[in-house]
Amino acid sequence: PHPKATIDGDGLALSLSLRLRAPDGLADVNDLEASITGDISRLVRDCQRLGCDPFGFAESAAALFPTVPSWTTFDWPAHYSSARLDIDLTVSFS
């Protein structure tokens, strides 16, 4: 996954971009993408609720700030818990 955090007028936005390969004939690609996207979304929301970041969003967000004090002032935990999430998932069959 490629975690990314951005800050805009609406606050903090998190995005994950994933490309997966599945064996031919496994399932309908649209159903599979919807199922995986839903599972990932629920997992990230649970992590936000618990205050943990196993994906590395904080590292991406910290890079947006020029100094450690400006990063600290941002108050990552408060913003992370309510950040918007966008998942870009593509499943291709081999």
Q: Measured between alpha carbons, how far is 83 from 76 in angstroms, rounded to an integer?
A: 10
CB atoms within 10 A of CB 40: 17
Q: Measured between alpha carbons, how far is 26 from 13 in angstroms, rounded to an integer?
A: 33
Residue 1's pLDDT is 67
pLDDT digits (tens, 9 = 90+) for 6-60: 999 989 999 999 999 888 776 677 888 899 999 999 999 999 999 999 999 999 9
Contact 71, 7 (CB under 8 A): no
Nearest to 86 by CA among 51, 44, 32: 44
pLDDT for residue 5 is more than 80: yes
Residue 29's pLDDT is 79
pLDDT confidence tier of residue 83, bands split at 50, 70 and 90: very high
